[in-house]
Structure 1
Amino acid sequence: MATSAYLKISLPQKNKKHEQLLLRKTITSLLDCKKKIMALGSQSRENRMQLKHNIGTCIDTIQDKLFILSQDIWRCPELAYGEKQSHDRLVRFLSDDNLWEVESHYKLPTAVRATWGPFGGKDGDRVLNVGFLCEYDALPGIGHACGHNLIAEVGVAAALGLTGALGLVREPTDCLTPLRVKVTVLGTPAEEDGGGKVDLILAGAFEDMDVVFMAHPAQQDVAFLPCVSITDVTVKYHGKASHAAAYPWEGVNALDAAVLAYNSLSVLRQQLKPDWRLHGIIKHGGVKPNIIPAYTELEYYLRTPLVTDLSDLKAKAEACFRSAAMATGCQVEITYPNHTYSNILPNTTLAQLYEENGRSLGIEFVEVQNNFSGSTDFGNVSFVVPGIHPFFYIGTDALNHTEEYTAAAGAEKAQFYTLRTAKALAMTAVDVLCCPELFHKMRVEFSEAKLKQEQGPKDKDTTVNLT
């Protein structure tokens, strides 16, 4: 603090010595205050670094148990809402530590919540609740081809690493968290199909959470990848059966309706925005070639980068479905699921912190711009509470939803990358807990991003020059 350049004060002559003495005392006091603030900041950084170091130590200490948990889930793939054995295994794992309060059937039969704390601060202070999310449902036929066993392991490992590090603090106030800390592990079923997180949102499971973390296996390490909104639609055509050779004119061909709808949607793609997607299958196309199909069924996925655009794509697709019914004389049923998955709201504050912590552990992040990804019900969570959903490399270039990825998700090789990711998540939580300015920045960014999307994009000049 250079005082001479900024303090130009005219003092009455008779009180000049007295005033100068007061001024020197004031300056000395300000300098002492600045030194204390700098010392506190330095101490805060030191404590954060110590907490982060302890996170790694705590996770390394239990790495064998974490691998067994992951293997138990991997060996028993279960579909959405039916993850009984995986759920029970997770409950037993969390219940082994009596510091955790476990609710084994939390709002859904195969959901679980475990809470630790509150810790630190002073009695009566606001409690800051940090959530770590676990998934454990599998895919039909190919098991854990999306690595949800590793998602469960990452969530548990990060939570235990954070609570273990906090537990090593001599005095709760030593960690300089401005608020009391609570840590929650939330086991969320049915991500692949159904939307378990949406069920939990509607049931109030996220109302007391301040920030949430999870990470998803992939082929690269990416702090943020734009996961898009999605809805699926089932279309059933009802016609009239008849002998396809003897009396075809007596029939109403439901397969014609399905094929016509399929082709109409394929043609529609030319007029869709470049980042809109629709893809589908014919689930039922008839029973025998010599019978005019009386019933057919289509299933489609519709995706847009913003959930606010999804209704427009639905309207366009539905026009194709209905026009096919009109053209063939069929009746049509169009049904949508209970839940739509939203896109993930970005939180640059959390993403940058995660990258910084990850790099300190040796993670090499890939920069992605405008990459199109899949969809997740974490998107809905990101509209309720600030959060991060990074992707992490597991030691293979195999693609998700393949048999090769199933094998990789169960391999011991994946453990190094999985636990490294868990450490980075827990370290990012430490930054938010110990730095009020980062917590505030994260919250402001969350509110602004949510408001921006709810208001919709501003009108743009779409005029083009034609040659």
Structure 2
Amino acid sequence: ALETLKQRACESVELNAERLGALSRRIWSQPELAYEEYQAHDAMTRFFSSAELPGAAWAVQPRYKLGTAFRAEWGTAAPQGPGPGPLRIAFLCEYDALPGIGHACGHNLIAEVGAAAALGLKAALESLPQPAPLAVQITVLGTPAEEQGGGKIDLINAGAFDGLDVVFMAHPSQENAAYLPDVAEHDVTVKYYGKASHAAAYPWEGVNALDAAVLAYNNLSVLRQQMKPTWRVHGEI
């Protein structure tokens, strides 16, 4: 039953709570910037390579597509006879920090939660009679450089997400929720070019770039009252 599988997953997380907490604290205590998360990467790969973890071993690729990315996999045996391929479920672990303020965004917790969820699902699947009616492959992806550079974009372009059916990630927040709407962000740079002229003798021959920029800024500010609640426009001159 589903409740039994949930219980097995929770029991696994509790069983590994001390290891998971130590992993998180190790990453927290040694903050590293995007693409430089060598100590966090090594801590994650050692965690999934450890013989102390219960159940069958994980197959770990310590240098996967990027220097500080990794991939750990485990899967159940496929049922005999023709049928669909395995269901491929992935969990993401981030572990880069912010300049000057370390893990203020909680990526050490993202790494811990991703690892915990993978261990929990693995334990639940291992508790089923084998071979299971559906083969399942669990993948843990270490995804560096979330704060700067776009590490996941690099991994997508390198094919790291190919073949995955569903991907999960958790993020610390002020709210406890399974889903929170997010806001996409895109920068737009607009340059205004003027034309010099004598301000007293021939002002009509000039073009005032600053006036144009100020008018655009003010017009966007007035437009905000017609914008939807999820729209955000912030300008700088």
Judged with a 3 Å threshold, the aligned counterparts in structure 2 of structure 1 residues 280 and 186 are, in CA distance, closer, same or farther, namely farther
Q: Which residue of 1 aligns with 2:202?
A: none
Instruction: Return the TM-score normalized by structure 2.
Output: 0.79
Judged with a 3 Å threshold, the aligned counterparts in structure 2 of structure 1 residues 261 and 50 are, in CA distance, closer, same or farther, namely same
Q: Which residue of 2 aligns with 1:82?
A: 36
* 3-state DSSP of counterpart to 1:278: coil
Quote the offset at 1:155 in angstroms: 0.5
Judged with a 3 Å threshold, the aligned counterparts in structure 2 of structure 1 residues 73 and 267 are, in CA distance, closer, same or farther, namely same
Q: Which residue of 2 aligns with 1:232?
A: 187
Q: Which residue of 1 aligns with 2:117?
A: 158
Quote the offset at 1:154 in angstroms: 0.5
Q: Which residue of 2 aligns with 1:278?
A: 233
* 3-state DSSP of counterpart to 2:101: coil
1:203-235 deviations in Å (ceiling 9; x for gaps): 222221111212111112112221122213456
Q: Which residue of 2 aligns with 1:361?
A: none
1:405-430 deviations in Å (ceiling 9; x for gaps): xxxxxxxxxxxxxxxxxxxxxxxxxx
Q: Which residue of 2 aligns with 1:221?
A: 176
Judged with a 3 Å threshold, the aligned counterparts in structure 2 of structure 1 residues 93 and 210 are, in CA distance, closer, same or farther, namely same
Amino acid at match of 2:100: G
Is residue 139 of structure 1 aligned with residue 94 of structure 2?
A: no
Judged with a 3 Å threshold, the aligned counterparts in structure 2 of structure 1 residues 235 and 133 are, in CA distance, closer, same or farther, namely same
Instruction: Return the TM-score normalized by structure 1.
Output: 0.42
Pick aligned residue for 1:208 from 163, 167, 188:
163
Identity score, percent? 60
* 3-state DSSP of counterpart to 1:131: strand
Alpha-carbon distance in 1 for matches of 2:30, 2:192: 37
Judged with a 3 Å threshold, the aligned counterparts in structure 2 of structure 1 residues 71 and 271 are, in CA distance, closer, same or farther, namely same
1:19-51 deviations in Å (ceiling 9; x for gaps): xxxxxxxxxxxxxxxxxxxxxxxxxx2xx3332
Q: How many residues align?
A: 219
Is residue 115 of structure 1 aligned with residue 66 of structure 2?
A: no
Pick aligned residue for 1:67 from 21, 44, 50:
21
Amino acid at match of 1:178: P
Judged with a 3 Å threshold, the aligned counterparts in structure 2 of structure 1 residues 259 and 104 are, in CA distance, closer, same or farther, namely farther
Q: CA RMSD in A?
A: 2.9
Quote the offset at 1:52 in angstroms: 2.1
Quote the offset at 1:82 in angstroms: 2.4
Amino acid at match of 1:122: Q
Judged with a 3 Å threshold, the aligned counterparts in structure 2 of structure 1 residues 50 and 109 are, in CA distance, closer, same or farther, namely same
Q: Which has the higher helix share?
A: 1
Judged with a 3 Å threshold, the aligned counterparts in structure 2 of structure 1 residues 78 and 265 are, in CA distance, closer, same or farther, namely farther
Quote the offset at 1:280 in angstroms: 4.7
Quote the offset at 1:262 in angstroms: 4.9
* 3-state DSSP of counterpart to 1:231: coil
Pick aligned residue for 2:62 from 88, 95, 104:
104
Quote the offset at 1:269 in angstroms: 2.8
Q: Is the 8 A contact 1:119 1:182 kept in 2?
A: no
Q: Which residue of 2 aligns with 1:410?
A: none
Alpha-carbon distance in 2 for matches of 1:235, 1:56: 52
Alpha-carbon distance in 1 for matches of 2:81, 2:73: 18
Is residue 266 of structure 1 aligned with residue 224 of structure 2?
A: no
Q: Which residue of 1 aligns with 2:143?
A: 188
Q: Which residue of 1 aligns with 2:204?
A: none
Judged with a 3 Å threshold, the aligned counterparts in structure 2 of structure 1 residues 146 and 179 are, in CA distance, closer, same or farther, namely same
Judged with a 3 Å threshold, the aligned counterparts in structure 2 of structure 1 residues 85 and 259 are, in CA distance, closer, same or farther, namely farther
Quote the offset at 1:259 in angstroms: 6.4
Q: Unaligned 5+ residue runs, structure 1?
A: 1-44, 240-252, 283-467
1:413-455 deviations in Å (ceiling 9; x for gaps): xxxxxxxxxxxxxxxxxxxxxxxxxxxxxxxxxxxxxxxxxxx
Judged with a 3 Å threshold, the aligned counterparts in structure 2 of structure 1 residues 162 and 276 are, in CA distance, closer, same or farther, namely same
Judged with a 3 Å threshold, the aligned counterparts in structure 2 of structure 1 residues 221 and 233 are, in CA distance, closer, same or farther, namely same
Q: Unaligned 5+ residue runs, structure 2?
A: 195-207
Alpha-carbon distance in 2 for matches of 1:154, 1:81: 21
Alpha-carbon distance in 2 for matches of 1:76, 1:222: 29
Q: Which residue of 2 aligns with 1:53?
A: 7
Alpha-carbon distance in 2 for matches of 1:87, 1:258: 46
